[in-house]
Amino acid sequence: MPKSVYSVTTRLFGQDKGSVETRDFAWRLIRRRRRPFLLLPISTMSTRVSLSLYSAQRRRAKIWRAILPLVLNSPAAMYFQRINLSVSQSSEILRFLSEQSGVPIERLPAPAIKFGGKENEKSRLVLLACDSTNRPIKVIKIGLDAAGRAATRCEADLLEKIPPNTVGCTRVTGRLSTPDLCAFATDYFPGESPEDDRGMEVLFHSWVSTGPFTPVENFQAWGELETKLPDTVKAEWKVLRDALAGKSFRSTLFHGDFAPWNIRAVNLQNLQAFDWERGSLHGIPGWDWLHFVVQTSILARRHSAERVAAEIELLLQSPRFQNYARATGIREIAKPLTLAYLLHHRWIILPLEGARETEELFRLLAEHWKLAPETKEKMAGQSQPGSAPLSAATPP
């Protein structure tokens, strides 16, 4: 067994110290960019069911996910490393899996496992548990190291604070905390990732606070921009800070990574968002909507900055966003708030992918909206060759 996979699985299940009663699990290891990505159970769970842990977005990834079950059910499966593990039935995570799935420990099938965490780290895992009929029933999120445990605990705390009738939010069905791990379970939600943002305004309207307007300076994201931005973008931040100073608007339930791969849709009226690690009960309105549009365009569709900018322009000008902007009080400041989102995503979130494209998009829109800091060339009256108006770009 590869050392990194062995260390993670032993921390997860605990070491078998000669226990008489054990469960023998077997998986095929799927790597992504040469690092462990998925452990797919052999025999006990349909490969197609296991792969529901992976929300493929790009065309090549969707094709790969579609053909992988055929490959693993053929002699070619031998090219994917087999991982075997004997687990004591006294393992606390096994007991938790049994409680959540309703399957006795002695008949508990191996769960599908998705490796998470930042690059070169395997601090977080996502497990898929099935019931006795091999039907996916629970998703369990687990933090293993100190940072992973803290993030998992905070996410579960947030989900438990969200009002119970809030639509589109996963609900915690159980928690587990040991010296070695922190975990929580939610119900499995079927469906596919949404292709676009049609109908999402209903969800976003339902998340808006009915309380009084909140000064922008009181939002956590504003404080992060004030204190954590590098010196290289302080001039850009000053322009936005001046444009937004003293403004107030309604807060909203905030997901923080509202992207297709974190959403399941049965239909336009039945959306479920998961992975609330960056979430907040009091977020800036519009940021989740912008995140969906921007991340879909940059990461899933590989669009140019000009194309993404055109999509943002179309969104901000659309009647459905205008209605949302009026309801939240951001209609007059939607553009600087958009730029603040891009600045926050690029320099506070520090995404593993799309950082360069996000930076380019920020500068393009800041120039177009005349919210960029003055340069020596501008002050000297020197004009730069311009590109076609963003509205002339090909619409999505």
CB atoms within 10 A of CB 338: 26
Q: Name the residue among 185, 121, 117 with its Cα closest to residue 151.
A: 117
Residue-wise pLDDT tens digits, 27-53: 999 998 888 999 999 976 788 889 999
Question: Tens digits of per-residue pLDDT, 56-68?
Answer: 999 899 999 999 9
**170: amino acid identity, one letter:** T
Looking at residue 86, what is its pLDDT? Answer: 92
E strand or H helix at 30, and its extent?
strand 22-32
Q: In this predicted model, what pLDDT tens digit does every residue of 126-185 receive, in sequence order?
A: 999 999 898 999 999 999 999 999 999 999 999 999 998 899 999 999 999 999 999 999
Query: Which architecture characterizes domain 200-392 according to CATH?
Result: Alpha-Beta Complex (3.90)
Cα-trace Rg, the chain: 23
- How many Å apart are CA 270 and CA 167, to the nearest integer? 8
Return the residue matching tokens 């091999």.
134
Q: Give yes or no for residue 370 having a pLDDT over 70.
A: yes
Where does CATH 3.90.1200 sit in the chain?
200-392
Which residue has tokens 């699985």? 9
| The pLDDT of residue 389 | 52
Nearest to 336 by CA among 327, 347, 325: 325
118, pLDDT greater than 70: no
pLDDT given at position 7: 86
Q: What pLDDT, on the 0 to 100 scale, is given for residue 301?
A: 94
The mean pLDDT value for 344-363 works out to 96
Q: What is d(CA 396, CA 15) in angstroms, rounded to the nearest whole number?
A: 52
Query: Which residues are CB-neighbours of 64 under 8 A, at least 6 positions away?
Result: 56
How confident is the model over 11-16, as a mean pLDDT?
81
Q: What is the mean pLDDT of the chain?
A: 90
Nearest Cα to 309, choosing from 261, 385, 366? 366
Contacts of 294 (CB under 8 A, 6+ apart): 308, 312, 342, 345, 358, 361
Q: Take residue 326 and report the two structure tokens written for it.
A: 């009026």
Amino acid at 164: P
Tell whether the model's pLDDT for residue 392 goes beyond 60. no
Say which residues have a Cβ less than 8 Å from residue 25's Cβ, sequence separation at least 6: 41, 84, 85, 86, 87, 110
State mean pLDDT over 207-215: 96
Residue 147 has, within 13 A of its CA and on its CB side, a CA count of 7
Q: What are phi and psi of 284, to 5 degrees?
A: -85, 125
Lookup: tokens for 325? 């902007």
3-state secondary structure of 181: coil
Q: How confident is the model over 316-341, as pLDDT tens digits?
A: 999 999 999 999 999 999 999 999 99
What H or E segment, with its residue span, contains residue 313?
A: helix 305-317
Q: State the DSSP H helix or E strand holding residue 238, giving kind and residue range, or none if neither.
A: helix 234-244
Distance CA 150, CA 314 (A): 39
* Res 44: pLDDT: 67
Q: Where in the chain is the domain with CATH 3.30.200.20?
A: 20-59+68-187
Instruction: Give me the mean pLDDT over the 360-379 stretch.
Output: 84
Identify the band that residue 1 occupies on the pLDDT scale cut at 50, 70 and 90: low
Sign of torsion, CA 84 88 89 93? negative
Q: Are 295 and 303 in contact (CB under 8 A)?
A: no
Q: Any idea which residue has 């609330």 for tokens?
A: 276
The pLDDT of residue 121 is above 90: no
Output the CATH code of domain 20-59+68-187: 3.30.200.20
Q: Cβ(333)–Cβ(279) under 8 Å? A: no
Which range, of 43-47, 205-209, 307-311, 383-387, averages the lowest pLDDT? 383-387
Task: Provide the whole-model pTM.
Answer: 0.91
Going by their DSSP bridges, the two strands 263-267 and 252-254 should be labelled as: unpaired
* Percent with pLDDT over 90 in the chain: 79
Structure tokens, 165 = 């009738």
Residue found under tokens 């069911």:
49
d(C-alpha 355, C-alpha 361), whole Å = 10
